[in-house]
């Protein structure tokens, strides 16, 4: 950034959109050229501007452009980038000690994070939590624990699911390209059931929950054999799959189906959890009480931390030495997570997520009324999306239109992300620290981009 070699982020950054160069700008282009010769081509970037500072509701790049942030680093900086509560605690910890390895010498902040997650999570009864480094590692550990506790191998997942990029979690993920193509053979004992996706359910939304649950029962009882299944793993709102909110009643029926067969229910809250939807955990919306919950992303305000929280008797089924990792539950990340919990509580961030959601859903509903290409508007709290379809036709996915709208938003100074099995979903995940003014401005930029691109799509 010209004239400022060490910019400071956080809420003190000027909260304004400002575009001063082409996007990406000259300095970002230089860095991109370096990236091409130093980083493999398989690592992509949604908006390839290099970041100088971020905070509140903006991301400032190395050319001095300031973007409104509707992405939060994919639902990670929920409490804001460089949020003061996170920075202060993490910085103090950096000066005390950076690492001991919890398996070698434990430290108290790890326990504090586990106790908070045990208190807050809707898992019933006595609970335990293990900390890890990432979302994928949390899912891997949840599956290990479920298998050890039940003595069964099978895992059932859903269409449109995303659970990570490691061998097991990529096998659990639904979408072939870009996540799986060329990376097989995949982990065995993974079975897939239809997701209760109201907008795309063949018989319409009314019977979606019941019919999808019946299909799960059929898979368990007639194909796999329930006695071979350790766990059903489900996202309470599908993230990468396109912010699919399961038809109401589906998740409670999945829980019932599992309970009746001694199958564990693992809810993957990695994208939807930690205040994002206006509840600490998105499965609370349907009063679902999972056996195991995975969290990551928003948990430590940007530092790498994941967790599995579960019923004590399941978590304790693995003998000492069976779980762990060198960096797992790093003390700086633990302090950051404690800062996140404080920020959520003292900042009233659950309510703020609901407010942001109300504003977004209202504006997006207007957009859907005005433009038939906006086929569906859905989400909860600050986790909201629109699904784009061709102007003529029956819900034909429009991925090119989604990409064009996203690109127009980017050049106009609004960071939005795409998602969905068909690549036709625009998703909105603003940090909960965004101001009303920036949220409003972002939604106006989006509305203009949709209007312009929808007009050219209809020609
Ligand atoms: N489970 C529900 O959303 C990560 C992926 C970004 P990690 N989603 C963002 C990308 O393209 O790799 C995710 C998720 C759900 C698991 C994960 C995996 O979490 O921290 O990326 O491993």
Q: Express each pLDDT in 324-344 by its tens digit.
A: 999 999 999 999 999 999 999
Q: What integer best gives the mean pLDDT of the chain?
A: 97
Average pLDDT over residues 253-276: 98
Mean pLDDT of 143-169: 98
12 φ/ψ angles, rounded to the nearest 5 degrees? -75, -15
Taking only the tens place, the pLDDT of each residue in 425-436 is 999 999 999 999
pLDDT, average across residues 226-251: 98
Is any ligand 1 atom within 6 A of the Cβ of residue 72? Answer: no
What is the structure's pLDDT at 5? 63
Q: Name the residue of 131, 296, 425 to mutate for ligand 1: max ligand atoms within 8 A of Cβ.
A: 296
* CB count in 10 Å sphere of residue 261: 15
Segment 265-294 shows an average pLDDT of 98
For the structural domain made of 85-346, what CATH number should be given?
3.40.640.10
Q: What is the pLDDT of residue 392?
A: 86
CA atoms within 13 A on the CB side of 134: 9
418: number of Cβ within 10 Å:
19
User: Residue 459's pLDDT band (boundaries 50, 70, 90)?
Assistant: low
Distance from Cα 132 to the centre of ligand 1, integer Å:
14
H or E element at residue 210: helix 208-218
Residue 458's pLDDT band, with cuts at 50, 70 and 90, is low
* Spacing, Cα 162 to ligand 1 middle (Å): 7
| CA-nearest residue, atom 16 of ligand 1 | 163
Q: Is 140 in the pocket of ligand 1 (CB under 6 A)?
A: no
Q: Which atom of ligand 1 is nearest to the CA of 304?
A: 20
- Joined together, the tokens standing for residue 437 give 């003014």
Please tell me the predicted confidence (pLDDT) of residue 247.
98
Of 201, 197, 211, 286, give the one whose Cα is nearest residue 247.
197
Q: What is the pLDDT of residue 251?
A: 98
pLDDT at 158: 99
| Domain 3-82+348-458 top-level CATH class | alpha beta
**Calculated CA dihedral for residues 103, 107, 109, 111, nearest 10 degrees:** 60
CB 255 within 8 A of CB 265: yes
pLDDT at position 6 is 76
Residue 2 has pLDDT above 70, yes or no: no
Tell me phi and psi for residue 347, to 5 degrees: -90, 0
Q: Is 239 in the pocket of ligand 1 (CB under 6 A)?
A: yes
Query: pLDDT tens digits, residue range 295-322?
Result: 999 999 999 999 999 999 999 999 999 9
- Going from N- to C-terminal start, the domains of the chain cover 3-82+348-458, 85-346
Domains 3-82+348-458 and 85-346 share a fold: no
Q: Is 178 exposed, middle or buried (0-12, 13-18, 19+ CB in 10 A)?
A: exposed
Of the pLDDT bands very low, low, confident and very high (cuts 50, 70, 90), residue 218 is very high
- % of residues, the chain, pLDDT over 90: 97
């Amino acid at each position: 950034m010209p004239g400022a070699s060490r910019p400071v982020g956080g809420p003190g950054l000027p909260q304004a959109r400002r575009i001063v160069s082409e996007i990406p700008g000259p300095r970002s282009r230089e860095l991109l050229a370096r990236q091409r010769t130093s980083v493999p081509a398989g690592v992509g970037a949604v908006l390839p501007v290099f970041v100088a500072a971020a905070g509140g509701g903006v991301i400032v790049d190395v050319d001095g452009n300031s973007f409104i942030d509707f992405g939060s680093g994919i639902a990670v900086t929920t409490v804001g980038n460089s949020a003061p509560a996170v920075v202060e605690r993490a910085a103090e910890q950096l000066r005390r000690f950076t690492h001991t390895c919890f398996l070698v010498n434990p430290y108290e902040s790890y326990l504090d994070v586990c106790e908070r997650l045990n208190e807050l999570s809707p898992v019933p009864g006595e609970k335990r939590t293990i900390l890890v480094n990432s979302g994928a590692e949390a899912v891997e550990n949840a599956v290990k624990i479920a298998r050890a506790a039940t003595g069964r191998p099978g895992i059932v997942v859903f269409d449109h699911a995303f659970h990570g990029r490691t061998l097991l979690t990529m096998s659990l993920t639904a979408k072939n390209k870009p996540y799986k193509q060329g990376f097989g053979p995949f982990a065995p004992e993974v079975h897939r059931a239809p997701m209760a996706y109201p907008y795309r359910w063949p018989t319409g939304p009314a019977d979606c929950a019941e019919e999808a649950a019946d299909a799960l029962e059929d898979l368990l009882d007639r194909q796999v054999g329930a006695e071979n299944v350790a766990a059903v793993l489900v996202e309470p709102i599908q993230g990468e799959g396109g912010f699919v909110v399961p038809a109401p009643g589906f998740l409670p029926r999945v829980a019932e189906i599992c309970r009746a067969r001694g199958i564990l229910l693992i809810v993957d809250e990695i994208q939807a959890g930690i205040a994002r939807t206006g509840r600490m955990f998105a499965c609370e919306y349907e009063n679902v009480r999972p056996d195991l919950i995975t969290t990551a992303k928003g948990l430590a305000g940007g530092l790498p931390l994941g967790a599995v929280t579960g019923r004590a008797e399941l978590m304790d089924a693995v003998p000492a030495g069976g779980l762990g990792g060198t960096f797992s539950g790093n003390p700086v990340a633990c302090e950051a997570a404690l800062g996140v919990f404080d920020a959520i509580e003292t900042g009233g961030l659950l309510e703020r997520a609901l407010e942001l959601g109300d504003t977004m859903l209202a504006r997006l509903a207007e957009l859907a009324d005005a433009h038939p290409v906006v086929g569906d508007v859905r989400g909860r709290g600050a986790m909201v999306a629109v699904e784009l379809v061709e102007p003529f036709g029956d819900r034909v996915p429009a991925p090119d239109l989604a990409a064009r709208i996203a690109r127009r938003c980017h050049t106009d100074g609004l960071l939005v992300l795409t998602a969905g099995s068909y690549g036709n979903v625009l998703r909105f995940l603003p940090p909960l620290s965004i101001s009303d003014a920036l949220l409003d401005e972002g939604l106006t930029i989006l509305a203009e981009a949709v209007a312009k691109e929808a007009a050219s799509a209809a020609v």
